[in-house]
Amino acid sequence: MMRARAGAGGTWLLGGIAAACIAIMLGLLAFTLGSGLASLWPTRVERIELRGGEILFGEVVESDADSLILRGSEVERIGEGYRRLRRADIATRNAPPDAVVVQLGDGRRRFGAADMEVSLAAPAADGVAEVLRPNAMGPFARTGVFLRNLFAFVATPPDASNLAGGVLPALVGTVTLVLLMSVLVMPFGIATAVYLHERRGPGMRIARGAIDTLAGVPAIVYGVLGLGLFVHGIGGGVDRWFHADRLPVPTFGSGGLLWAALTLALLTLPVVVVSVEQGLARMPASLRAGSLALGATREETMWRLLLPAARPAVLTGLVLAIARAAGSVAPLMLVGMVKLAPASPLDGAFPYLHPSRQFMHLGFAVYDAALASSDVIRGVPRAYACAMLLVCVVIALNLSAILLRNRLRDRYRALEP
């Protein structure tokens, strides 16, 4: 009886710890989602009159008991319009319904009253992208602006400062990289798992030791390996053999999508191998024995019976590989990922996929907006929005693989011992 109570107590403790971890994870996701979406919601414009008679228009981005920070009009560049105002110096403060926000084509914003709209837009060399009166908007109008901002964030490229515009190139680069990595890692992972499952001897022990070593190598080391082996080694050799007329300008001898995908394939190879090998080990011995008894060879039994039955484990390895690859940014900084790519690796020109091109990544967009931005107050909310989009991409890719895995698992459940 005492052992049963102790076991029940341990079960409840583990269940509570698991529930706490899930709650923390959901809380972090909710915080990221809320912070990212809030940056796309239109904020009200305030009119502040100082005691000296100066009148200011802008958005209050931070405030405390003694002062507030006002984001005002940006005349020359993004991020120049911030002012800290002491509350004691403020005579009046309100949000007039005729306040205007003029969004310029280069990402700058200017604030003023309705009678100032022409003067606010006139000096803009890059044109006016949008004119809004957020204080006069109702809930439906604000929702429309939010949806328009969300679409622009997902479907348009960024500007040179990476503080305005969208993240379409980074989204395309992330999805293309993960899919190409999956195509490269799965055949090698499955073949390695089959070899470790079927063979015995020194070669198998060496291969298993290599896989275990790869599982413990820091991610940045994979970047150094990819830079030396793939970019300078294989890529430089390809340029010398096939693109000598273009040297010293490299074609494959510089960072690109292909080398980044191969680097991530090495990074995720151990999780695929372990998952597939465990799936093969769970296959009942009677399944193999029956196939061999009917005259099939060992190779036919493996490739036509055991591996199809282990497809749920194969897809589990794919899910784990996608989850790890999507969040690995450090090695990509050495093998082709850039802040702003001159051209997308995936476009409408033949052959449509250009593996030698550099690419952008949502993970690096998060880092750049949060820590390397010239306007931190605007960059941090943008980092939350990029993180939110990256989480949505990972969830969508994983959910697709999980749904397919569950369908295959139900089909082959009768074969499990």
Mean pLDDT score, 144-165: 84
Q: First vs last Cα of the chain: how many Å apart? A: 32
Q: What is the mean pLDDT of residues 172-199?
A: 89
Confidence of residue 121 (pLDDT cuts 50, 70, 90): low
Question: Which of 117-121, 184-188, 328-332 comes out lowest in average pLDDT?
Answer: 117-121
243, 248, 254, 259: CA torsion to nearest 10: 30
On the question of pLDDT at 4 being above 80, the answer is no
List of E strands, 89-168: 90-94, 100-104, 109-112, 128-132
Question: What pLDDT sits at residue 181?
Answer: 92
Confidence of residue 197 (pLDDT cuts 50, 70, 90): confident
Name the token pair of 119. Answer: 């003067």
CA–CA separation, 264 vs 185, rounded Å? 8
Domain boundaries, the chain: 48-136, 168-415
In this structure, which CATH number among 3.40.50.300, 2.40.37.10, 3.40.50.2300, 1.10.3720.10 belongs to the domain 168-415?
1.10.3720.10
The candidate with the shortest Cα–Cα distance to 185, out of 278, 319, 309, is 319
Q: What is the pTM of this model?
A: 0.84
pLDDT category of residue 261 using cuts at 50, 70 and 90: very high
Q: Are 393 and 326 in contact (CB under 8 A)?
A: yes
Phi, psi (5° rounding) for residue 132?
A: -130, 155
